[in-house]
Structure 1
Amino acid sequence: MSDTTVLAPNTPARPDIDSPKRREVIEGARRVFFDKGFDGASMDEVAKAAGVSKATIYAHFSSKDELFGALAMCERNRSAEHMFEVDPAVDEVDDMLRRIGLSFMTMMVRPDHIRLIRMLIGVAEKFPRIGSNFFDAGPALGGIRLAELLRAQEARGRLDLAGEDAVELGVLFLNMCNGNFVKAMMFAGAEPPTQQQIEAVVDRAVRVFLASYGRAA
């Protein structure tokens, strides 16, 4: 049976989707996928890395691509966990944007994140659902979450979005924070930027954004 073949109908019912055993499988998959890549990884290697049987893996995931998709979503959740921990009622808009920008870029330039994105780009051509799910729960959701905070700041008189789409403005800000760091790492093998380099680009993004949409105190 290939790693992408669904098990026969006598496969046991799926256990709890957040069970400790499922997390063990995903952690084992993380080590194998990040070491071997999607095509090079096998379910046998994942089972060995996770310390479980292949039957246990297939009790949770019907195929290698489903397991990789679950890993990608787990990594996204782990990376974005603290990104939007701000309070528009308390935080000034420049501090809020700076904190989000720094958290976002610290996550984006992690070497493991770069490896994950490279794998996702390759996998998405064969399994577009994985790429679509990651995009919806990652980049797209990031713009939506930031849009909510931008609207809250506008309601408090700290921003004037000028009737523009808040989601598009959220994506615009995050892209400005990105600079050229991620592309340089993905395509040219560049080293991760220093904290000072990240701060310089994020601070510039905050200034440019507020110059267009900020309100004077």
Structure 2
Amino acid sequence: MDASKTSSTTETSSPAGRFAAGADPVKREQIVDGAKRVFMQKGFDAASMNDITREAGVSKGTIYVYFDNKEDLFIAMVERERAAFLASLRTVLNDNDDVETGLRAFGIKFLEHLTDEKIVNAMRIVLGVRERMPDLCARFFRGPQNLRGVLQDFLTRHVEAGTLVIDDIDLASGQFLDLASGSFFKFRLFGTMPEAPPRPQIERVIHGAIQVFMAAYGAKKADPPSE
């Protein structure tokens, strides 16, 4: 353990009514909030633990009680944002029983998130260090909570209900995400689209994605009996 982890006099003991070292969720969120602001302003390489300490308003000893280094802080920031986003997508899908309505709400929220400036900047940060820090990139893209898994649960429910016919749900979920992203994400990532697409363009892409997806996987209605 880093020696600085033992230097904090404010969080290394746990008398009645106080958290043990590194266990205060409010303090942890305060640190991650500060780190997020620094990373978004300076990028990963230029950010320092001193910068984050100042921005979060905590002592250096305190920050090392919670996190070993800025890599840990970056992953904590990413995983927090991802967890909140996935929770919102689960809610969207759970609130919509109709398959096309659910896919539309999911797709719009997904594409708005994917093209948001903060998300694009985070992707650029990770890609910028991918050769020096492959483990960081792997943790970023293969987090414990998976976007595809959220969609798979929804598709599975509709397969069981008979509204979809899908043999490979993992493949189908990836196909819908690819269709829903359109070309917008690549344009945003590489700077050829300086701002996020307007809502009508997003809706147009998602509408087309649903049409293609349902043509492939929608349950076919039986023909009426011939007279």
Tell whether the 8 Å contact from 1:80 to 1:107 is kept in structure 2 after alignment. no
CA-to-aligned-CA distance 1:110-137 (integer Å, 9 cap, x gap): 1001001111122333332322222223
Counterpart of 2:178 in structure 1 is 175
Q: CA deviation at 1:169?
A: 0.9
Q: Which residue of 2 aligns with 1:166?
A: 169
C-alpha contact (below 8 Å) 2:89/2:150 kept by paired residues: no
Give the aligned length.
Answer: 207
Instruction: Work out which of the residue numbers 193, 203, 207 in structure 1 matches 2:207.
Output: 203
C-alpha distance in 2, partners of 1:104/1:167?
17
Secondary structure (helix, strand or coil) at the match of 1:84 reads helix
Identity %: 33
Q: Which amino acid aligns with 2:112?
A: T
Give the alignment of 1:102-117 within 5 angstroms. Answer: 102-117=108-123
- The CA deviation string for residues 161-211 of structure 1, in whole angstroms up to 9 with x for no partner, is 1x2x21121111011100011110110241210000000000100000000
2:2 to 7, 11, 17: 7
Match of 1:149, as an amino acid? F
Asked if 1:37 corresponds to 2:43, the answer is: yes
Give the deviation of 1:93 after TM superposition: 0.9
| CA distance 1:41–1:216, change in 2 (3 Å) | same
Distance 2:152 2:87 in 1: 17
The answer to whether the 8 A contact 1:146-1:167 is kept is no
User: Post-superposition shift, 1:28?
Assistant: 0.4
Q: What is the TM-score with the length of structure 2 in the denominator?
A: 0.84
**Contact residue 142 and residue 171 of structure 1 kept, 8 A:** no
TM-score w.r.t. length of structure 1: 0.88
Q: Distance in 2 between matches of 1:185 and 1:105?
A: 11
Structure-2 change in CA distance of 1:61 and 1:35 (3 Å): same
From 184, 187, 196, give the equivalent of 1:184. 187
Give the 5 Å matches for 1:9-158.
Answer: 11=6, 14-16=21-23, 19-85=25-91, 86-87=93-94, 91-137=97-143, 141-158=146-163
**Does structure 2 conserve the Cα–Cα contact (< 8 Å) formed by 1:102 and 1:198?**
yes
Letter of the 1:207 partner, please give it: Q
Q: Larger C-alpha radius of gyration, 1 or 2?
A: 2
1:3 aligns to what?
none
